[in-house]
Amino acid sequence: MAERPQLFSPPTLYRFREPAHSDTVSPMRSWPVPRPAIRAGLFDGPASPAVAAVFDSRALFVAQVAVLLAMLAIVATKVWQEHLGVGFALAGLSAVLWSPELWRVRIRSWWFIYVAGIFFYTLLRALADETAIPIHSAYVIDFDHLVFFGREPVEVLQDRLFSTSRVTALDVGAVLTHWSFFLAPHVAAITIFFWRRDLFARYVALVVGTMYMGLLLFFFIPTTPPWLAAQANQLSGVFRIMDFVGGTVNRDTYASFHASLGEPNSVAAMPSIHMGVTFAMYLWARAHYRRAAWPLLAYCAVMGFALVYLGEHYVLDLLVGIVVASAAFWASRRLVPGVESTSAP
């Protein structure tokens, strides 16, 4: 009678496919996975050939991709906002279709975590102002006054640089910087996936983790942005500059874009996820690709100025966003496999 293999015989290391230039980095930290467990399908697919055929079928893969594309489509429109139940139903369907992948160590599973994670974050963000917790404004204004000797940076910047009678290149540049947030992290995700696939999981955990840590604060400390505080007469001379710029470009297009991405929750200002995710990109580059670190740090500075100047955030919002990103970075380095050294000095 053949000897039955021991499930916990001396382990091997299961790892993602390393890039061609792997000699430039130190060996990856990987999860120890017993070889018989891999043969049995515990980490690389189901043991049953019939179930394996379903898991690896082209039809399932097409359905998985289709549900992610559907998420992207309804986020870019007002469908999820007008029919919130449709959004949650789509999130549930995606979980069912992608559940086979979550039992396997495959890199494409992280695309589900990235796309579905951001989609579900968007749905929950829209509900963060529906609780019984009161909406706050004073504490962020008081902090700015304390740090800046009784003055509010948003008021100072708009008083000196903005005019309601005309739109300047500074206004347009600040708005474009703000809107770049809706593109830059995703371009980075695609680039990392093809260039350093072994680090893609860590990037996903960092970005999605930053968003969900911020989401907790949205629920527990709903906070008005400066432009909304000004409408309540808590600040003077502060406007939402984005409305002026958007109205001069194409009013209908701007209204649709803003309704899809900006209106679901106007009091989700603490922390600034714009700053948090932007700073998270810098932290990732500093750890893994230092050539991009300084440009991304400059991008953080420009983003911070734009967010305050446009009346979207207070300085405290930015600082807490940086803290949240730093916490997510710390967690991602300890919980997700990856390399420790940088690919460039």
pLDDT the model gives residue 189 = 93
2 located within any domain: no
pLDDT the model gives residue 110 = 86
Tens-of-pLDDT digits for all 345 residues of the chain? 555 444 434 433 333 333 444 333 333 344 443 333 333 333 444 445 544 555 556 777 677 677 777 776 766 666 666 666 777 777 777 777 767 766 666 677 888 888 888 888 888 888 887 788 888 889 999 999 999 988 999 999 999 999 988 899 999 999 999 999 989 999 999 999 999 888 999 999 999 999 999 999 999 999 999 999 999 899 988 999 988 887 666 566 566 555 555 555 678 889 999 999 999 999 999 999 999 999 999 999 999 999 999 999 999 999 999 999 999 999 998 888 665 444 444
157 lies in the same domain as 304: yes
176 lies in the same domain as 274: yes
198 lies in the same domain as 267: yes
Domain count, the chain: 2
**DSSP state, 336?**
S
Q: 122, 145, 164: which is the final residue of a domain?
A: 122
143 lies in the same domain as 110: no
8 Å CB contact between 279 and 322: yes
10 located within any domain: no
pLDDT the model gives residue 180 = 92
Residue with tokens 């796309």: 115
189 lies in the same domain as 104: no
| CA neighbor of 20 nearest in space, from 188, 198, 191, 187 | 198
pLDDT tens across 265-292, in order?
678 889 999 999 999 999 999 999 999 9
Rounded distance, CA 27 to CA 337, Å?
11
pLDDT the model gives residue 95 = 74
Angle between helices 184-195 and 273-288 (to 10 degrees): 20
151 lies in the same domain as 91: no
Q: Domain range spanning residue 301?
A: 135-335
Q: 71, 93, 122: which is the final residue of a domain?
A: 122
87 lies in the same domain as 110: yes
